[in-house]
Amino acid sequence: MAVEEESASGAAAADEARSDDPLIDVRNLQTAFFTDKETIRAVDGVDFQIDSGQTVGIVGESGSGKSVTARSLMGLIESPGRVLRGSSVRYRDLDAVREFAELFSKRTVAVEELAARYDPTEVFGATDATPAEFGHDDPADVPVVDVAAAGYTDEVGITDGDECVFVLDGDVDSPASIRDGFVEITRLSGEAQRKMRGGRIAMVFQDPLTSLNPVYTVGNQIEEALELHQGLSGKEATQEAAELLEAVGIPDARRRVNEYPHQFSGGMRQRAVIAMALACEPDMLICDEPTTALDVTIQAQILDLIAEIQESRDVAVMFITHDMGVIADVSDRVNVMYAGEVVESADVGPLFADPKHPYTNGLLDSIPGGQVGDKLSTIDGSVPTPNEPATHCRFAPRCPKAFDECESVHPVPTPVDEETDDHTAACLLYPDDVSTEEAVERHQEQDRRGDRQ
């Protein structure tokens, strides 16, 4: 397993250089589906980070946009949907940046060079970009890299839409010298997309049968992934495939590699899919409801397995589920989504001990178990379909705590009080240590989402 050691030492070097930075940095992610009838803004301005080795949970009801978020990260949004301009998902693993800079030198840019050609008044004049969406008042204050990553520089010809590797520090022509930079996931396409998807970020879906081909043996499918991403073939690949199956807890793996998906039970299939995902030694694993179709005893096995993999391989995990119990079990940090937006974000402990957003409270209260025999509390109404950019709180119509301003001011993620900085809620009630009027004012000021197509 020479490859693993090599990348491990590479990752260690990267850690030294910038341990504070997240592996994945999602900024203002917007994904919309355009049909003749309506536009559905499935993901509408989502920000979150995932550190390497961390598990970040995304929880919400159906229609909240959690799966579309995952698919946007994987580049799996198909027409009529697309990730909108202004979105940025930065992949910051230094190893990956160097690898991509080397493989795709034509698609790599040094941000310094961009800056030389960049004129803020031109860009902000010619496009629908607003300094507010980058958190500034003056166009001149907005760093060029943010504008370019969000895709606005394409329109004025500073970039041509093909660049996906941004180098902040180091020489573009000698990738080994790169010390800072990122791969912009929303701008990937073609070969670079394939390198990222599967090679760096792997995904496990809810229904293992949709990710397995019924006419090939399980071993065959893992070998395919090994060949694509690691260049293994023949006996070597078979050997490695069996080892992977063994690593995900499939007994009698050597016999199992030659079996077909239908000969596996549901839990075994999900293990096989996880083995396939691991075949390319990803830095990040996106799990989209991986245990929803499984029984609790099998779910327990799969959750144990994911935790074990994370520990032994130090991968970052983005875990999507609607089950609050599962989220509490697996996550380090939790993002609660509602109608395309992250409404609350906190470490798992504070989120469950002291949920702040009324929606999070509602979700937790409606789980049976707290109040035996009593009536269960419910959230009236249903999740709305976000068709327009948000101009107010989307939860307001169902919110027990809503007041007049909730219908006119759009809340932005805000620290829940002045002392805390890692627990945010998108609700006009927060921060809760200032008066409501002041809180509302702050939300109004910070609302940076422009009207954009």
Binding residues for other proteins, per CB under 8 A? 61-62, 246, 251-255, 257-259, 263, 265-268, 295-301, 303-304, 322-329, 331, 348-349, 352-353, 362-364, 366-369, 372-373, 375-379, 382
Least distance from other proteins to the Cβ atom of residue 380, Å: 9
Handedness of CA 68, 73, 76, 82 (dihedral sign): positive
Rounded distance between C-alpha atoms, residue 326 and residue 314, angstroms: 20
Task: Rank residues 109 and 305 by Cβ distance to other proteins and give the closer one.
Answer: 305
Collapsing DSSP to helix, strand or coil, 238 comes out as: helix
Task: Rank residues 58 and 129 by Cβ distance to other proteins and give the closer one.
Answer: 58
Tokens at 324, concatenated = 């609050």
**Structural Rg of the chain based on CA atoms:** 23
Tokens at 168, concatenated = 């902040």
Task: Rank residues 153 and 331 by Cβ distance to other proteins and give the closer one.
Answer: 331
Task: Rank residues 233 and 378 by Cβ distance to other proteins and give the closer one.
Answer: 378
Closest CA to 23 of 275, 282, 303: 282
Least distance from other proteins to the Cβ atom of residue 414, Å: 23
Give yes or no for a contact between 197 and 75, defined as CB atoms under 8 angstroms apart. Answer: yes
Least distance from other proteins to the Cβ atom of residue 255, Å: 4
Task: Rank residues 9 and 263 by Cβ distance to other proteins and give the closer one.
Answer: 263
- Neighbouring CB atoms inside 10 A of 31's CB total 23
DSSP annotation string for 93-151 = -HHHHHHHHHHTGGGEEEHHHHHHH--HHHHHHHSS--GGGGT-SSGGGS-HHHHHHTT
Closest CA to 43 of 73, 18, 4: 73
Collapsing DSSP to helix, strand or coil, 448 comes out as: coil
Collapsing DSSP to helix, strand or coil, 367 comes out as: coil
User: In DSSP terms, which residues pair with 197 in a beta bridge?
Assistant: 201
Phi, psi of 82 (to 5 degrees): -160, 160
Least distance from other proteins to the Cβ atom of residue 297, Å: 5
Task: Rank residues 11 and 204 by Cβ distance to other proteins and give the closer one.
Answer: 204
Tokens at 313, concatenated = 């391989």
Angle, helices 266-278 vs 218-230, to 10°: value is: 20
Q: How far is CA 450 from the centre of its chain?
A: 22
Rounded distance between C-alpha atoms, residue 87 and residue 348, angstroms: 26
Least distance from other proteins to the Cβ atom of residue 175, Å: 41
Task: Rank residues 202 and 327 by Cβ distance to other proteins and give the closer one.
Answer: 327
Task: Rank residues 18 and 401 by Cβ distance to other proteins and give the closer one.
Answer: 401
Task: Rank residues 185 and 268 by Cβ distance to other proteins and give the closer one.
Answer: 268
Rounded distance between C-alpha atoms, residue 439 and residue 415, angstroms: 11
Task: Rank residues 214 and 251 by Cβ distance to other proteins and give the closer one.
Answer: 251
Phi, psi of 70 (to 5 degrees): -60, -45
Task: Rank residues 172 and 245 by Cβ distance to other proteins and give the closer one.
Answer: 245
Least distance from other proteins to the Cβ atom of residue 326, Å: 5
Task: Rank residues 258 and 408 by Cβ distance to other proteins and give the closer one.
Answer: 258
Closest CA to 101 of 13, 225, 24, 195: 195
Least distance from other proteins to the Cβ atom of residue 142, Å: 38
Least distance from other proteins to the Cβ atom of residue 23, Å: 22
Closest CA to 277 of 330, 236, 226, 332: 226
Least distance from other proteins to the Cβ atom of residue 242, Å: 9
Least distance from other proteins to the Cβ atom of residue 74, Å: 24
Least distance from other proteins to the Cβ atom of residue 159, Å: 42
Least distance from other proteins to the Cβ atom of residue 397, Å: 14
Rounded distance between C-alpha atoms, residue 344 and residue 156, angstroms: 36
Tokens at 11, concatenated = 């990752």
Tokens at 421, concatenated = 């900085």
